[in-house]
């Protein structure tokens, strides 16, 4: 039973989430032979103010 946790900075639309889940599920089926009904994909949307890169918050780069 594959479990994939995707973390993204900011928010995604429902359509983007759907495409991510479908794509990851299809990839696991094609590459690893995992049946789609056994694959779990969780998407965590992290506020940009709670995510840092290069010593700066991602929210700082928007200003």
Alpha helices per DSSP H over 1-63: 14-32
pLDDT of residue 51: 93
The one catalytic residue among 1, 2, 38, 53: 2
C-alpha to C-alpha distance for 8 and 22, rounded to whole angstroms: 16
CA-nearest of 20, 11, 19 to 48 is 11
Instruction: Express each pLDDT in 11-55 by its tens digit.
Output: 999 999 999 999 999 999 999 999 999 999 999 999 999 999 999
Instruction: Give catalytic status of residue 2 as yes or no.
Output: yes
For the domain made up of 3-62, the CATH class stated in words is alpha beta
CA-nearest of 3, 13, 2 to 42 is 3
Band (61; pLDDT cuts 50, 70, 90): confident
């Amino acid at each position: 039973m594959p479990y994939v946790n995707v973390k993204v900075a900011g928010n995604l639309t429902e359509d983007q989430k759907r495409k991510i889940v479908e794509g990851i599920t299809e990839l696991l089926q094609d590459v690893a032979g995992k049946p789609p009904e056994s694959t779990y994909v969780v998407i965590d949307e992290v506020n940009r103010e709670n995510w840092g890169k290069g010593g700066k918050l991602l929210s700082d780069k928007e200003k």
